[in-house]
Amino acid sequence: MLKRTLYFGSPAYLKTQNKQLVIELPETGEIKTAAIEDIGVVILDHQQITITQALLARLLDNNTAVIICNDIHHPTGLFLNLDGHTLQSQRFQYQIEASLPLKKQLWQQTVIAKITNQAFLLQQYRIPNKVLLQLASNVKSGDSDNCEAQASAYYWKHVFPLFPKFRRHREGPPPNNLLNYGYAILRAVVARSLVGSGLLPTLGIHHRNQYNAYCLADDIMEPYRPYVDKVVYNIIRTHGNFLELTPSMKQQLLSIPAIDVIIDYEKSPLLNAVQRTTASLARCFEGKSRKLLYPIMPTTLTP
């Protein structure tokens, strides 16, 4: 079952009763409810939202990712469950003891999947992609030749034709703001699934920043980034250069967990596909598999 993503962008009082999320909206006097077991992600994007400790505890027990936004409406924090799997301690140990050759192989698979999806996204929009396909075929163990960076340099120059001088930078001009918002949602989805698979989001297979609590999430989300880029591309096609983050744009970005992707030759919502990816990663750490399961972006042309 696909878990719901709930967004709160106006004053609200959130509590729990009878295993339900109870939403009180002071501006209208409305009271709504939602089953907590059906919720995968909650986004709190207003300075006048009150949430009870009891509700937070129930959401985390349900392995719901809770995202907090700052006063400029950018995601700035994330709550996750500390006890997401019955064999968590054992899986932590497998993860900690993973050999360097295994991690290099897993990173190789991750980079190949990312570059391939970038290439297929360009193909959908009739943008030349042979450079990316060649780079994907050249990725070595651990990406020792840094094909990922070479691919990114080419990709970002071509993926947004309305912005021919675009540079991907977190603090850069639009559409960086849209990418930041979409990637934050994706990161939360991946971190949630890692916890649900009994893994530590902190211990990466490639990313190692000592100040980053989500290194593994940043690794595993890489092949999924082009799905966010596609949503941003479609927003640009609709709005042109007018890209200050609006409620309608947020609504499109909030659909990311429900996007259909193809994984292992089957159609699946992205949120469920990420769960399959993290489960395959856990099997790799346990020595039961050597292959990470990632989605493949379709190559069909977009009208």
Question: What is the residue-wise DSSP string for 205-233?
Answer: SS---TT-TTHHHHHHTGGGHHHHHHHHH
Question: Does 286 appear as a known binding residue?
Answer: no
Question: Does 97 appear as a known binding residue?
Answer: no
Phi and psi of 260, rounded to 5°? Answer: -80, 130
Run of H or E residues at 43: strand 39-44
Measure the N-to-C terminal CA separation of the chain; round to a whole number of Å: 31
Run of H or E residues at 25: strand 20-25
Question: Does 46 appear as a known binding residue?
Answer: no
CA distance 77 to 66: 8
CA distance 215 to 187: 10
* CA nearest to 277, candidates 200, 196, 209, 214: 196
* CA nearest to 226, candidates 290, 137, 136, 287: 136
Q: How far is CA 161 from CA 128, 229, 265, in A?
A: 12, 13, 31
Positions at the binding site: 148, 207, 222
Residue list, annotated binding site for Mn(2+): 148, 207, 222
